[in-house]
Amino acid sequence: MKMKLISAVLPILCIVLAVLVMFSYSISSNIIERESSELLESSVSGQSASIEAWLDKNLTAFSAIKQTIEKTAPSQEELQAIIDASAGYDSNYPEGVYIGDGSGKLWKSADSAKTAEGLTESTWYKEGLTRVNMKYGTAYQNAEGKNLVSASAILNDGSDPLRVISADVSLERITVIVNSFVQMSDAEAFLIDSGDNTILANRDASLISTKLDAAEDPYLQKVAKRFEDRDYTRGTLDGNLTVFQEIAGTDWVLVSFVPKEIIFSDINNLRMKMILISVIAILLLVVITERCIHIVIRPVRGLTKSISAMSEGDFTVSVKTNGNDEIGRMSSSVSDFMVAIRGMLREIQTIAGRVAKQSSNTNQVSDGMYNVAEVQADSMRELTGTVDELAQSINEIADSATRLAQVVADTKVTSDQVEDYMTRTVQVSEKGKQDIQQVSVAMDNISQSIHSLDQAIGKVGKASEEITNIVSVIGNIAEETNLLSLNASIEAARAGEAGKGFAVVASEIGKLAQTSTESVEDIVNLIGDITRLVNETVDQAQVSMESIDESSQLIQTALGTFDMIFNDIHSTSDMIQEMMVKVNEVDEVATNVAAISEEQAASTDEIHAASENMVEQAQNIAASSKEVLSDSRELSDEAAQLSQHLEKFRI
């Protein structure tokens, strides 16, 4: 118990403290690093300003001398005087200015140890030729082995050959300046000529005038890399916080650095102290926790004993209840709990007994219920079968009714057509009747015409008789004429010669009478023929008259028959009309019947579905009652078990 608590608390404590220490360490180290960088930067910029000012002051002095010489165009003596005056004027350039030309001639102050040897090859001279304004050049060693930087330029005084004016500043001097102006404690600075990476100033004098690239120190190598990339941003190089600052007016770069370990020495110290305090705090907390737990758990022990007895089923033990703290209250609660449990257990015993009894009753009841439910389910199943058949029959009826309705509808269409035909038949027979009437009228007309013909023929007969009479008259005349001619011929023959002429006439007249008699006989014959023909025609007309009369009578009879047919057709049409009405009625009824049968079929389907549901329900009920049965059996088993368990408690 004790160990468990401590082992739970201890790691958390350690983690929290470790996080706290790390957190505050990283924040403080960030702050310190930033502040140190800023301090270093302000230090280096102040320092570079001082160096710039120092360089500038000297350069201004040199420029002033140069200007003087250029403007005044001095004679040799005057020039020497100016040069001598510049020497010893300022400790920064003790030897003053000097002048050289391409021919190797040198003008210098009296104190100067400078020689004209190798003048045109010297650094100051060659550099001087590349500018008109005075400027510091690169570092070099003079003949005496001194490290120097010269400020030089072309002396623009119109002289020929060109002359170069120059003045030397020693690198040691610059180093002093660089080192003296460091404004941050523990920081160092050095000066590099970025043109050729020469170290111009350094605390380590042996490095002065050497090349940065050749340095063996790893830090300087890293700095050299920065110069190679011309990367003058602040950064940490080889554990040193480093800042760069270009010196205006020169190619020089001031590098200032401070080792990080110096910056962080305080913070590391702080970290150590914090860790120490944390460890002590942890140890102290462990001891205090252990003691507290010991005091707290003492009364809990007695209580634990009682509770273990309780867990074994002994509710007869007593519990000490003293104190008013959580533990005391817990003890009295446990005591109350025990009393309550005792009462409860007793009640449970009684209830268990009752439950056992009731569950056996339930057993019986549910058994019965299950059987009943089974029967019900079977009945329901049968009912469903019946309803199913019923549904089928009704569906058939519905189908038949639908078909009947269809047939009736078809019949209706056919009757409509018959009606149409009938109407047309009536119209046609009426037309027929009218036609026959017209035939009858025509027959009457024919009969009258024949009558007229008969009469006309009669008149022809009379005319023929009159002609016959006239012809016979003519025949008589011709005979008398013939007699006369004979008489005349006889008389002529008596008259002799005189009557000869007359005898010819009389013979001619006799001939004529003869001819006339023959013609009369022909005419009589012809008229006889005509009369016979006319009589025949009259007979024929008579026969026609009779035939026509007969036809007329027949037509009259046909007309009567037509009337009868017409009447019959009319009554047939009426009957069909009536039949149509009936058919319509039947159609309506059949349609209604079909609809009703369909509804009935649908209803039956519903009843069928409902009865199937009922079957399912009945089966469910049966299943449920089975479950109830098994549950009640379990209940009675459990009631028995409960009674057994309760026997274990001592109360």
Partner 1 sequence: MKKRLCLGMIMLLSLVFMAACGKGSSEESAKGIKMYMTVSSGDTFRNALMDTAKKKAEEMGATLDTHDAEGSLEVQLEQIREAVKGGYDVILCNPVDVDTTLQLQVEAGDIPMVFWNACPDESRLEPNKYVFVGSNEEDAGKYQAEYILKRFEKEKSIDVAIIRGQAQHPSTLARSNALVYNLKKSGKEINYVFDDAADWDQAKAQSVYEIFLKTGQQPDVVACNNDAMALGVIQACKDNNVDLKEVEVLGVDATADGCAAIEADEMKFTVLQSATGQGEYAVKAAARLAKGKSLEGLDYLSKDQKYVWVPFEPVDASNVADYE
The site map against partner 1 for 76-115 (x = CB under 8 A) is: ----------------------------------------
Minimum gap (Å) between residue 33 Cβ and partner 1: 19
Binding of partner 1 by 49 (CB under 8 A): no
Evaluated on CA atoms 360, 362, 365, 371, the torsion sign reads negative
The site map against partner 1 for 206-235 (x = CB under 8 A) is: ------------------------x-----
- 313 to 372, contacts with partner 1 by CB under 8 A? none
> Judged by CB under 8 A, which stretch of 16-24, 107-115, 328-336, 347-355 contacts partner 1?
16-24
Cβ-contact 72, 158 below 8 angstroms: no
Of the pair 121, 216, the CB lying nearest partner 1 is at 121
Which member of 8, 20, 473, 543 binds partner 1 (CB under 8 A)?
Answer: 20
Phi and psi for 623 in degrees, rounded to 5?
Answer: -60, -45
Alpha carbons 404 and 426: distance in angstroms, whole number: 32
Of the pair 195, 343, the CB lying nearest partner 1 is at 195
> Judged by CB under 8 A, which stretch of 153-161, 264-272, 405-413, 446-454 contacts partner 1?
153-161
Q: What are all long-range contacts of 333-338, with beta carbons under 8 Å and residues at least 24 apart?
A: 334/303, 334/306, 334/307, 338/306, 338/310
Of the pair 133, 542, the CB lying nearest partner 1 is at 133
Report how many residues bind partner 1 under the rule CB under 8 A: 20
Minimum gap (Å) between residue 272 Cβ and partner 1: 21
Amino acid at 112: S
Which member of 30, 130, 316, 641 binds partner 1 (CB under 8 A)?
Answer: 130
- How far the first Cα of the chain sits from its last, in Å, is 32
Alpha carbons 540 and 591: distance in angstroms, whole number: 74
> Judged by CB under 8 A, which stretch of 42-50, 125-133, 420-428, 568-576 contacts partner 1?
125-133
Amino acid at 563: D
Cβ-contact 55, 132 below 8 angstroms: no
Give residue for tokens 């019947």. Answer: 593
> Judged by CB under 8 A, which stretch of 18-26, 87-95, 166-174, 340-348 contacts partner 1?
18-26
Minimum gap (Å) between residue 15 Cβ and partner 1: 7
Alpha carbon distances (Å) from 552 to 199, 433, 447, 448: 169, 15, 9, 12
Of the pair 35, 420, the CB lying nearest partner 1 is at 35
Of the pair 230, 298, the CB lying nearest partner 1 is at 230
User: Which tokens go with 542?
Assistant: 């008579």
Mapped onto helix, strand or coil, the DSSP state of residue 121 is helix
Which residues, including other chains, have CB under 8 Å from residue 84's CB and lie 6 or more apart?
96, 109, 110
Binding of partner 1 by 19 (CB under 8 A): yes
Which member of 8, 14, 16, 85 binds partner 1 (CB under 8 A)?
Answer: 16
Q: Does 11 sit behind a cis peptide bond, omega within 30 degrees of 0 on the bond before it?
A: no
> Judged by CB under 8 A, which stretch of 13-21, 293-301, 414-422, 547-555 contacts partner 1?
13-21
Of the pair 161, 496, the CB lying nearest partner 1 is at 161
Of the pair 96, 128, the CB lying nearest partner 1 is at 128
Minimum gap (Å) between residue 135 Cβ and partner 1: 8
Alpha carbons 168 and 87: distance in angstroms, whole number: 11
Minimum gap (Å) between residue 198 Cβ and partner 1: 14
Binding of partner 1 by 132 (CB under 8 A): yes
Alpha carbon distances (Å) from 308 to 304, 334, 339, 504: 6, 12, 16, 211
Alpha carbons 154 and 121: distance in angstroms, whole number: 15
Cβ-contact 254, 57 below 8 angstroms: no
Of the pair 52, 95, the CB lying nearest partner 1 is at 52
Binding of partner 1 by 160 (CB under 8 A): yes
Binding of partner 1 by 21 (CB under 8 A): no
User: Which tokens go with 88?
Assistant: 């010893």
Which residues, including other chains, have CB under 8 Å from residue 137's CB and lie 6 or more apart?
123, 124, 127, 128, 149, 150, 151, 152
Minimum gap (Å) between residue 40 Cβ and partner 1: 17
Binding of partner 1 by 282 (CB under 8 A): no
Of the pair 218, 249, the CB lying nearest partner 1 is at 249
Quick one: which H or E segment has residue 152? strand 147-155
121: burial class by Cβ within 10 Å (0-12, 13-18, 19+)? Answer: exposed
Minimum gap (Å) between residue 16 Cβ and partner 1: 6
Minimum gap (Å) between residue 132 Cβ and partner 1: 5
Binding of partner 1 by 133 (CB under 8 A): yes
> Judged by CB under 8 A, which stretch of 32-40, 148-156, 406-414, 507-515 contacts partner 1?
148-156
Query: Percentage helix, strand, coil, to 5, in the chain?
Result: 75, 10, 15
Give residue for tokens 């210098």. Answer: 108
Binding of partner 1 by 249 (CB under 8 A): yes
Binding of partner 1 by 287 (CB under 8 A): no
Alpha carbons 133 and 136: distance in angstroms, whole number: 10
Of the pair 22, 483, the CB lying nearest partner 1 is at 22
Mapped onto helix, strand or coil, the DSSP state of residue 320 is coil
Binding of partner 1 by 27 (CB under 8 A): no
DSSP string for 258-285: EEHHHHHHHHHHHHHHHHHHHHHHHHHH
User: Which tokens go with 352?
Assistant: 């268990």
> Judged by CB under 8 A, which stretch of 152-160, 265-273, 311-319, 531-539 contacts partner 1?
152-160
- How much is the CA Rg of the chain, to the nearest whole Å? 85
Binding of partner 1 by 18 (CB under 8 A): no
Mapped onto helix, strand or coil, the DSSP state of residue 181 is coil
User: Which tokens go with 441?
Assistant: 């009228």
Of the pair 12, 295, the CB lying nearest partner 1 is at 12
Binding of partner 1 by 577 (CB under 8 A): no
Give residue for tokens 């089923």. Answer: 313
Binding of partner 1 by 156 (CB under 8 A): yes
Which member of 53, 176, 248, 575 binds partner 1 (CB under 8 A)?
Answer: 248
Of the pair 148, 164, the CB lying nearest partner 1 is at 164
Binding of partner 1 by 15 (CB under 8 A): yes
Which member of 5, 6, 21, 162 binds partner 1 (CB under 8 A)?
Answer: 162
Amino acid at 649: F
Binding of partner 1 by 23 (CB under 8 A): yes
Cβ-contact 629, 366 below 8 angstroms: yes
> Judged by CB under 8 A, which stretch of 72-80, 85-93, 124-132, 605-613 contacts partner 1?
124-132
Of the pair 153, 492, the CB lying nearest partner 1 is at 153
Binding footprint of partner 1 on the chain (CB under 8 A): 15-16, 19-20, 23, 129-133, 135, 153-154, 156, 160, 162, 195, 230, 248-249
